[in-house]
Structure 1
Amino acid sequence: MDRRAVLIGFLSAAAVRPSLAQEEFGTQSGRVKLETVASGLDHPWSLAFLPDGRMLVTERNGQLRAITAAGELSEPIRGLPEVSAVGQGGLLDIALHPQFPSNRLVFLSFAEPRETGNATSVMRGRLSEDATRLDEVKVIFRQQPSASGGHHFGSRLVFDRTGALFVTTGDRNRLRQLVQQTDNHIGKIIRITEDGGIPPDNPKPQGWLPEIWSMGHRNLQGATLHPDTGALWTVEHGARGGDELNRPEGGKNYGWPLISYGKEYSGARIGQGRVMEGMEQPVHYWDPSIAPSGMVFYTGDKYPGWKGNLFVGALVQTHLARLLMQGDEVVEEEQLFKGMARIRDVRQGPDGFLYLVTDEGAPDGRILRIVPA
């Protein structure tokens, strides 16, 4: 077995299914509590922290809401485009412009209805001072081609340190035959400017669309920057096993669907095995699958022993994965809050605490904050 798949010192945070009625949860580094910051949400997908202490949260049904410091939900913010809220599709990720305090620009990814189905798109708009509407709304990226169905939209948004925007996409499940072609956006990471243009330092492999950063991906639902290097890190869903943690580099091919550490849901082999010349290996993979979604490197000091760790939400395995890193290698993994809920996203707040987004329908979708016990 590949050593990256070996969980050195694998630890389960709880032996039984926890609930929020419990005051404390044991972890390898001490005891913590979960506080409910907001509830009553319908499949919340992502959140962003505003400078005034409020949060913006997306709901998959197409609604964007503000949350006060007291946990009160606003009415849906006006001005958003129509979304295709079908299956895994809907209103997805959110990112604030790096200069949000001065320009109030908000970026959202969503499944956009098209004449031939739907596909991942990215819009931007200017949030009003009272956070009740988006003005000057403009779609800056449209994944091509579109397809019918409700699977594998991606989709995370991350600004890098130059101000360019990474957009992760999926293979739409039924379009995997297009992933290894370079004239489309299926199973790719895209890198664009804030206006949807092409950054001049994008990779330029022959035949690639100029907005493509990397290729060979299945369904990327987590992305973040490394706090020291500024490099992009991602997680993506495998099929039956083979979820991957990657550090995607510009101009490189990450193999899907020609190589994979997973299998088809039928049990059949995928592609040509695990290794192929010219294709990159994952930093780490999960088998069985955890269905990773949302990720962040923790840089705060609120929790002993957690600084520098990578946190990844798990949907199918319903936990928060804490990955201890040594350089670019995962050397230990701990499962926190196992069995509690599907964790759609994890973010570090400006207060230094970690926040979780649970993927539950109304009225059970919640924003949770982890605090030391």
Structure 2
Amino acid sequence: MRRSAVAIAGLAAAALLVPEAGAGAERESGAAPPIAPSTASARPTTAPAPAAALRAAPMRVTTVLRGLDHPWDIAFISSRQFLFTERARRTISIGTLGGGKRVVGRARGIWASGETGLMALELAPDFARTGAFYTCHGYRSGSTTDVRVARWRLNAARTRARLVTTIVRGLPATTGRHGGCALAFGAGRTLFIGTGDAVVGRNPQRLRSGGGKVLRVDARTGRGLRTNPYAKSRYAMKRRVYTYGHRNVQGLARRAGRMWSVEQGSSRDDEVNALFRKGNYGWNPVPGYNESVPMTNHRLPGKQRSARWRSGRTTLATTAAAWLRGSVWGNRAGRVLAVTALKAEQIRLLRFDKRGRLRGQSVALQGRYGRLRAITVAPGGALYVSTSNGNGADRILRVLPG
């Protein structure tokens, strides 16, 4: 179960949502300047509309913690306490609803550069009994860097967390760009891992690479599941592949047994995708690293799956996502996906029907707190959102409908 056992529900009022529209923002931090669109095929989803067409969803916002530096992910461990990571500080801390903070974990060898550092955080399904949780982080040994997934254990006193074992290593890393790093549990011990392509053009379509993929592994061993599409491959990384053809997956959220991903685009088309076993999501920036190609290139061999939502001609720099549930949000349980954005400085609220078709969207917190990164759901249904402005000026916010 994602984050905690707390249920949360969709937005209360349909008036906060308008029919399908998309809106761009400036390009992703660190990305190449916008390039003229390619003539290669990019089969459209619903046509985007200007940002001005989107209504603002009123919210009540309270600052829970201040003085943070790029808090990347949040997971509630009780009704009043949550774990969170800080990317460049490479720390795992416990925060409280009263505003306290205590560092409980820091591991040697964690590498932070650019977009990579100590990133995703996900509680094990048996966390209440074992104290086990998982992180995705950069790692350096000598001159070699990669991205890894590790299992940690928080002690019963909740004063110290230690890294127990690394379950996946060898995910590609170069300068720190496109480190990906999203974690979410499926059923049982099934752990999904969203990765970035590390700005290497061949990685997304190369099945022996862990870059530009969503992997599905056994959370105890890190091995690919027997039901994965390439489970009989001789290559360990290929056996882990669930979907491929991604650029930079930074968010995962599960609804009704289906995992969804949030992916950052190049100079256009951030994407929200519903994930299907063996799906190719069409990113193939070759030769070299050609950012002018479509995010979903339907001229590739075979079938490519189109996005369920895309930002349009410019990007928002979408990051994390959470499905809204719980009575505090009204009677639209499981229908609204809340997606944070860095450059657009907003929460984008996307309403999908039961078949996963986009039916409307609105925005919240537009420009009020700067760049937004993490989003998760607290007991009782409140959204907890982190900012990502840097220099020790970041916060964790509590967000409720206004």
User: Which bracket does the TM-score occupy, shorter chain normalised?
Assistant: 0.7 to 0.9
Please tell me whether residue 11 in structure 1 is matched to residue 48 in structure 2.
no
Pick the aligned partner of 1:349 from 361, 368, 378: 378
Match of 1:88, as an amino acid? E
Report the secondary structure of 1:4's partner residue. coil
Gapped regions of structure 2 (runs ≥ 5): 1-42
**Cα offsets for 1:179-237 (capped at 9, x unmatched):** 211111111111111221232222237757111111110000110101xx211000101
Q: CA deviation at 1:306?
A: 5.4
1:118 aligns with 2:145: yes
TM-score normalised over the length of structure 2: 0.80
Query: Which of 150, 161, 174 in structure 1 is aligned with 2:176?
Result: 150
In the alignment, which residue of structure 2 is the partner of 1:16? none
What letter is aligned with 1:164?
T
Aligned residue runs from structure 1 range 128-167, under 5 A? 128-135=155-162, 137-144=164-171, 146-167=172-193
Structure-to-structure mapping, 1:168-317, within 5 angstroms: 168-173=194-199, 175-195=200-220, 196-204=222-230, 209-226=238-255, 229-257=256-284, 268-270=292-294, 273-276=297-300, 277-287=302-312, 288-304=314-330, 307=333, 308-317=335-344
The amino acid across from 1:336 in the alignment is A
Q: What letter matches 1:364 in structure 2?
A: A
1:102 alignment counterpart: 129
Root-mean-square deviation (Å)? 2.4
Per-residue displacement from partner, 1:34-60 (whole Å, max 9, x unpaired)? 101111111100011012621111000
Match in the other structure for 1:330 = 358
Identify unmatched segments of 5+ residues in structure 1.
Answer: 14-26
1: CA distance, partners of 2:360 / 2:125: 33
Q: Which residue of 2 aligns with 1:21?
A: none
Structure 1 residue 273: Cα displacement = 4.8
Runs of 4+ residues deviating >6 angstroms? none
State which drifts further: 327-336 or 3-12.
3-12
Question: 1:369 maps to what in 2?
Answer: 398
Normalised to the residue count of structure 1, the TM-score between the two structures is 0.86
What is the alpha-carbon distance in structure 2 between the residues aligned to residue 198 and residue 86 of structure 1?
28
Q: Give the drift of 1:296.
A: 0.8
Contact 2:284 2:297 in 1 (8 A): no
Q: Which residue of 2 aligns with 1:17?
A: none
Code of the residue aligned with 1:285 in structure 2: it is R
In structure 2, what is the equivalent of residue 84 of structure 1? 111
Query: Which secondary structure state, in structure 2, belongs to the residue aligned with residue 77 of structure 1?
Result: strand
- Counterpart of 2:356 in structure 1: which amino acid? D
How has the CA–CA distance of structure 1 residues 363 and 274 changed in structure 2, closer, same or farther, with 3 Å as cutoff?
Answer: same
Residue aligned with 1:35, SS:
strand
Residues in 2 aligned to 1:255 and 1:33: alpha-carbon distance in whole angstroms: 39
Counterpart of 2:27?
A: none
Deviation at 1:363, TM superposition (A): 2.6
Higher relative contact order (CA 8 A, sep 6+): 2
Per-residue deviation, residues 286-331 of structure 1 (Å, max 9, x unmatched)? 1221111000110112134653211100111110000111231112
Question: Structure 1 stretch 245-254 or stretch 304-313: which is displaced more?
Answer: 304-313
State which drifts further: 148-157 or 272-281. Answer: 272-281
The CA distance in 2 between the partners of 1:183 and 1:158, in whole Å, is 22
Shift of 1:116: 4.8
* Mapping of residues 42-53 of structure 1, within 5 Å: 42-51=69-78, 53=80
Deviation at 1:81, TM superposition (A): 3.6
Instruction: Give the residue type in structure 2 aligned to 1:346.
Output: I
Identity rate, percent? 27
Aligned position for 1:34? 61
